[in-house]
Amino acid sequence: MKKEHLEILKSAIRHFAITAGGIYAAGVRDWKAILIGTVAAIVGPAIRGIDKNDPAFGLIADVADAEIKKIVKKLNK
């Protein structure tokens, strides 16, 4: 599994867990409502994952990461 895919998966799991916990803590005990809410929370990371221009997960993420590393290297000299 590519690093980008792992990061997308971890992001989706975080959104799922936080949303499920929040909905449950708010007093909702209907598991169907909790499931629908948590699935809706995963839509955001999924969209970011398929967006090739997303700076965190998309194709330009590698380019942006390389440029940031160059800048940090120059600053540390």
Q: Is 54 left (phi over 0), alpha (psi -120 to 50) or beta?
A: beta
Number of domains present in the structure of the chain? 1
Q: What is the extent of the structural domain holding 47?
A: 3-75
Q: Tell me what the mean pLDDT of segment 34-45 comes to.
A: 85
What number is the average pLDDT over the span 37-43? 85
pLDDT grade for 58, boundaries at 50, 70 and 90: low
Residue ranges in 1-77 assigned as alpha helix (H): 3-25, 31-50, 60-75
Give the mean model confidence (pLDDT) for residues 31-52.
82
Q: In angstroms, how far is CA 66 from the centroid of its own chain?
A: 20
pLDDT level of residue 73 (50, 70, 90 thresholds): confident
pTM of the model: 0.58
